[in-house]
Amino acid sequence: MRALAIVALLLAAPLAAQTALPRLAYTQLRDPDQERQARALMETLRCVVCQGQSIADSDADMAGEMRALVRQRIARGEAPEAVRTWLIARYGDYVSYAPPLRAATLPLWLAPLVLLALGVWLARATFRRR
C-alpha cells in the first residue's frame, strides 16, 4: 500500500510542476488584425528573464504572462504604442529592444559605437605592422 502511494506521488509530480499561464499566452486573438498588431509588438519586446529573446519567442512563464497582457490590452482596443509605453513603465527600458535615448540608456547606445571604433583601431594597427 505504501509503495502504491509513493508511485502515485511520483507520477503526479510532473503534473504539479506545470504552470497555469493565462489563456492568451498561447491563444491567438480572434480578430486577425489585432493578432497581427499584438504579434508585431511582441517581436519588439524583450523577455525580462531571458537573455536576448523576445516575448514572442520565449517559452518562459514571464514571457507568457507578458504575451497575455499584450493580447488583453490589444483586444480591449488599446494602441500598440500605448501598450509598449505601459510595459516600459512597468518593467523599465530594458523590456524594449529600442530603448529611448536618456542618460540612463546612453551606455546602451554608445557601447556598439565604441566597440566598432575599437575594432577599427585594432585592425588598423595590425595591418600597419604587416
pLDDT tens readout for residues 43-58: 999 998 887 899 999 8
Residue ranges per structural domain of the chain? 22-99, 100-130
Distance CA 6, CA 92 (A): 46
- 79 is written with which cell numbers? 494602441
| Topology classification of domain 22-99 | Helicase, Ruva Protein; domain 3 (1.10.8)
More confident of the two residues 99 and 4: 99
pTM listed for this prediction: 0.65
The mean pLDDT value of the chain amounts to: 84
State pLDDT tens for residues 7-45.
555 565 554 444 455 666 778 889 999 999 999 999 999
**Which residues sit opposite 45 in a β-bridge?**
96
pLDDT confidence of residue 116: 95
Distance CA 71, CA 77 (A): 10
